[in-house]
Structure formats: structure tokens, C-alpha cells
Structure 1
Amino acid sequence: MPTLFEGGPDPLVTDSFMDRVEKYINAINLVIDKLKIILTTYNFVGDAEIWWKTVSHTHNLDTITYDTFKKLYYEKYFSAPKRRELKKEFDGLRQGNMTVTEYENIFTSLLRFTPGIANDEEGKIEKFVDGLDLTIRPIVAASEPTDYAKAMRKALVVEVESKDSKAIRESYRHNKSTGVFSEGQSSKKQNYE
């Protein structure tokens, strides 16, 4: 069963709740609209439960369709201005100081608000790659990934390799400045002694 839904201002929680409910509805192959509504509203508590009681007094629950119910639900808890705001956030999304995994998690959670890109594999790859850090982006783009999963895997590999290379360079600089080298390494200073 889906978790309880209290309502509130977070559109991601609103959308996530409905996704879980619909996943459950599909899993049990529920097709009757009235039962879908009962199942969904059974999980309402707090503000959501109060809202639903109000709606149930103004709508005929015997004839309301599940699509109408969802429309009312999204109008209340996921308004068009909130969707536009999240789309703007997605449009401006950049990896910045995040890891590739953190960036990808936010990318994926915001992607649903841009159906044009979400339904277009090429556009999705392009947007993901364009938002990557400048040290990762050119390598991933040059690999010309043909699907989103390949772009993500390549970005993760490049991130790990980049961190390893940076650690090696920093270790070398530190050793060079202190004159301490591991076996097999030497400095010009040591070669002339």
C-alpha cells in the first residue's frame, strides 16, 4: 500500500504519492474508478483528508471519474505555477559541486515536469550532458552515448577517473615540495646528489 498523504506544499511529494498509488492500482489491476478513488483517499490524512471531505460534499462521488479526481488533486496540491517553477529549475540545472549521482537524482526527479524532453531520448541525453561539470562534459559528449543509461554510466566512469587523476597529481605535488618520493620515483634534486 502507498504511504499516507498529508497534503502540503511540496509538489514532489504530491507527485510521488500519486505515482505510488497508481503503481499499486496497476499491480492489483483495479479498473473501477470509484474503487481507485476510495483506495487513494483512504491514504489521505490531515489537510488532504479535510480537503477530500470538502470535495466529497461538492461532487457526486457516484459519478466522478478517476481522471476528474486526479485533476482536482493536482489543482489543489500541484498547481500550474508550481509545475512551471520546477520546469524552470530543471532548465537551469547544472551539476556544479554535486557528484554525478546527486546531479542525476535531481535531474531525474525534475525530468517529469518537462514531458517534451522526458519522452525524447536524444533530448534527454543532450540536456543531461549539457548540465555536467566542465571536466566531465566533453568526454561524455565525445563518447556520443546513444541512450540515457550509457550517458550516465560514462559520466560516472569519467568522474571516478578524474578524481583518481587529481589525487595522483596532488600526491605528486606534495611529494615534490617535501622531497619525499616513493620507491621508483626520484626528483631532479635527488638525481644530482
Structure 2
Amino acid sequence: MAGRNNRAIANALQALAQAIGNPNWGEAGGAVEYQGLDHFQRNNLLSFNGGYNPDAEYWWENTRQCLEAEGQDMTRDVFKRVFLEKYFPEDVRNKKEMKFLELKQGNMTVAEYATKFEELVRYFPHYQGRNGESSKCVTFLNGLRPEVKQAVNYQGVH
């Protein structure tokens, strides 16, 4: 069973590598914004059936062995963390964070704003789970247009 999961992970890495190519440069050599992170985070890695890449499997096997030697349990969250650290540059993560921190409702509907908010908030683990829910709500409310925010506050929605 473990070999099968490792194969699925290796296949996911291969497909992702093929999909993103070089995430920092377009065909004309200019910088482009990376879009593959969204695609990666929407995939269910346990059921992903991509191509096979021995380099990806080699990376995963070495990484898994190092993590197990450190006593870390091999969970989906651990895999996701080490994968993102390895394959998504810090500048890309910083751009996503800046987009999130600067997000305001502006001319969007509340539904559009909520969708964009949820799309960006998933990049920030400190907003995930029960502990982050309160901060997530405060950040969401602060991005609403003043008249919408006032109506929400008046209703006592938290």
C-alpha cells in the first residue's frame, strides 16, 4: 500500500512539473504570474493519476526518508508543506500573501469577494482550522465596502 501511495505522489509531482514548466518565465523570456499553485491545491493527490517521473520519485523517496528519520508522521499536510517549500518559490508565495492582505471588496459583489477571499486565504495556514476562524472573519469583514460592513455589523454576523 505504501508503495502505491508513493507512486501516486510521484505521478502527481510529474504531472505538476509538466504542467508548470518553469513557473517564473514565459515563452518570450518575461516574467509571468504563476497559476499552477491554484491547480495543485485543488487536486486530490490520493486519487490523482498522472504520468511517471523517476526524478520526482527519487526526490520524494529521499524527502520521505529524511522526514521519517526526524520522527515526522507522513501525512498529506506534511507532504504538502515540503512540496510547496521545494517547488513554489518564496517570491510567488509573497505575491499571493500581498494579494490577500490588500484584498478589498471594491466593485465586486459580496459573493465574488468571498470567492476571491477563499481562493487566497488557503495559502495561509494560520487562518486554517478552528484557531484561525476568528482572524479569518475579522480580515474578511475589514475588506468589505463600508456600507456592507456596517450592515453586517448591525446584524451581528461574525
TM tier relative to shorter chain: 0.5 to 0.7
Unaligned runs of 5+ in 1: 26-38, 147-193
Give 1:44's aligned residue.
50
CA distance in structure 2 between the aligned counterparts of 1:59 and 1:92, rounded to whole angstroms: 35
Given the alignment, which residue of 113, 124, 133 partners 2:145? 133
Unaligned runs of 5+ in 2: 1-11, 24-35, 69-73
Question: Could you give the per-residue CA deviations for residues 135-177 of structure 1, whole angstroms, max 9, x where no partner exists?
Answer: 211111222223xxxxxxxxxxxxxxxxxxxxxxxxxxxxxxx
TM-score (norm 1): 0.49
Question: Could you give the per-residue CA deviations for residues 33-67 of structure 1, whole angstroms, max 9, x where no partner exists?
Answer: xxxxxx65xx234xxx5xx4213346647x74655
Task: Map 1:61-100 onto structure 2 (within 5 A).
Answer: 64=65, 66=74, 70-71=80-81, 73-100=83-110
CA distance in structure 2 between the aligned counterparts of 1:78 and 1:58, rounded to whole angstroms: 15
Give 1:13's aligned residue.
39
Secondary structure at the residue paired with 1:14? helix
**Which structure has the larger Rg over C-alpha atoms?**
1
Count of residues in correspondence between the two structures = 117
Contact 1:14 1:78 in 2 (8 A): no
Q: Report the identity percentage.
A: 26
CA distance in structure 1 between the aligned counterparts of 2:132 and 2:81, rounded to whole angstroms: 25
Give 2:54's aligned residue.
53
Does the alignment pair 1:115 with 2:87?
Answer: no
TM-superposed CA distance for 1:96, in Å, is 0.9
Question: Aligned partner of 1:136: which letter?
Answer: V
CA distance in structure 2 between the aligned counterparts of 1:123 and 1:134, rounded to whole angstroms: 19
TM-score (norm 2): 0.58
CA distance in structure 1 between the aligned counterparts of 2:145 and 2:119, rounded to whole angstroms: 19
Q: Residues 56 and 124 (structure 1 numbering): CA distance in 2 closer, same or farther, change over 3 Å?
A: closer
CA distance in structure 2 between the aligned counterparts of 1:11 and 1:58, rounded to whole angstroms: 19
Question: Aligned partner of 1:53: which letter?
Answer: P
TM-superposed CA distance for 1:75, in Å, is 3.4
TM-superposed CA distance for 1:79, in Å, is 3.2
CA distance in structure 1 between the aligned counterparts of 2:42 and 2:87, rounded to whole angstroms: 12
